[in-house]
């Protein structure tokens, strides 16, 4: 059984969307503002890291900090959200490092 921690987020709090931008193919960090807090999800507004457009969406607590390096290596887009700016920067750096490695592999293949 999975237990969920009660959401301690507040309206107007900043969370971070980290993703591989579809146009630039580089990872970037964008800020999202919390509009509404639920038991297991946040409704947020901000610039989407993958598409680079203003958007509103739902972030689920179960997906927080779910950075999966294998997905970065095997797909064109991957995103993760976090409430920690330092973690967001770390995830973006890791994504960009993996993208560089993937590019090197494709050049040698």
Q: Across residues 16-42, what is the average pLDDT?
A: 93
pLDDT one-digit tens code per residue, 16-27: 999 999 888 899
Which pair of structure tokens corresponds to residue 54?
């203003």
Which residues make Cβ contacts (< 8 Å) with residue 105, sequence separation at least 6? Answer: none
The length of the chain, given as a count of residues: 109
Q: Across residues 18-44, what is the average pLDDT?
A: 93
Q: Would you state the pLDDT for residue 70?
A: 83
Domain coordinates in residue numbering, the chain? 14-108
Vertex 55 angle, CA 59 and 77, to 5°: 70
């Amino acid at each position: 059984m999975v237990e969920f921690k009660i959401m301690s987020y507040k309206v107007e709090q900043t969370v971070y969307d980290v993703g591989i931008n579809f146009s630039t193919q580089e990872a970037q960090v964008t800020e999202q503002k919390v509009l509404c807090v639920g038991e297991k999800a946040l409704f947020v507004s901000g610039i989407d890291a993958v598409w680079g457009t203003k958007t509103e969406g739902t972030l689920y607590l179960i997906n927080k900090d779910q950075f999966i390096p294998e997905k970065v290596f095997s797909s064109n887009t991957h995103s993760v959200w976090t409430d920690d700016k330092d973690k967001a920067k770390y995830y973006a750096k890791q994504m960009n490092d993996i993208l560089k490695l993937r590019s090197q592999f494709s050049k040698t293949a």
